[in-house]
Amino acid sequence: MLAICVRMLCLGLLVTSMSGCIQQLSWVSISDRLLLSDESNEDLSPEFRAARRQFGNRTESVMLSYAALQESQHNYAEALQTYREIAEAYPDAVAAHLGMARIEESTGRFTQAEEILTRLADRRHQLDSKSEQMQVLIEQSRFYSRRSNWSAAIPALEAACSIDETSQEGRYELGLALVRSGDLDRGLGHLSYAVGAPAAHYNIAWMLHEQSRDQEAVVWLQQAMQQPDQQTAEKSARLLAEIRGAHPALAGMSGDTSVQQTAGVLDGPSSPIRSAVATDLDYSPVRTADFHSAAGHR
């Protein structure tokens, strides 16, 4: 009983901080309370059923926030249980299923994580929201990308982009995956659409640098610096200085060198690299050079 009271107190504090005001059972109409009786969803824990009675139609969002808080504090067992109960009570809660997949992956249960993502992707057409359909496919692709499984990651991203070919996030992720797989030409096209040509060249250079392909990275940085984007040009200059400092022999490379001149070299296989996105949980669309990995700012 004490554990239930503690959890409900935590939930109350969490919702209060989100809304900026203190509201209790007044959130829930009388009809909501009748519908959300203890008799429904008997498989749910007493804590979850108590939350449903208290928060009514806000229960899903409140419990998702609570699960995310548990996850951020690395309380994986508790977070997984909360996500599971949300998915039980609200089968179409995509965020709950994705949360379960993240935790399974974070704790080394890769097969279980893949199964969750595959089930979600297989039934994505049942989702009403196109944005949720894309989110499922993008998260599935990221799972495969982290394992350098490009033959699985790229089709998932292509399917996502077929839902909305104007999505900057989808095109950016697809561009990254293609570059990492060795298809720089196609990757450049998608990255240029998502973040602009200068930033696309910079990102490709950064990924090549991470693979110790610095001679090729210099060429892409020179291309980035020749285009009208001062912010990206400054970042490119810093990375270029770092590379040339580590490899004095590259200092003599001409600024007129074109990307096409190195095409035969650039088509080689890619090695697994660090993501060009700054954090694992920041999945907002990439619009400016600030969202790219800050090469040379370590």
Alpha helices in the chain (DSSP H): 2-19, 30-35, 46-55, 59-72, 76-89, 94-106, 110-122, 130-145, 150-163, 168-181, 184-195, 197-210, 214-225, 230-246, 263-266
Q: Nearest CA to 95 among 71, 122, 125?
A: 71
Whole-number average pLDDT of the chain: 77
What pLDDT is attached to residue 205? 94
pLDDT tens sequence across 262-296: 333 333 333 222 334 322 323 233 333 333 333 33
Q: Could you count the other beta carbons within 10 Å of the beta carbon of residue 112?
A: 15
Does position 143 have pLDDT exceeding 60, yes or no?
yes
Q: What is the pLDDT of residues 155-212, one digit of tens each?
A: 999 999 999 999 999 999 999 999 999 999 999 999 999 999 999 999 999 999 988 8
Mean local confidence (pLDDT), 89-109: 96
In this prediction, residue 36 carries a pLDDT of 38
pLDDT of residue 27: 35
User: Using one digit for the tens of pLDDT, what is the confidence trace for 220-241?
Assistant: 999 999 888 888 888 899 999 9
218/259: higher pLDDT: 218
pTM metric for this prediction = 0.71
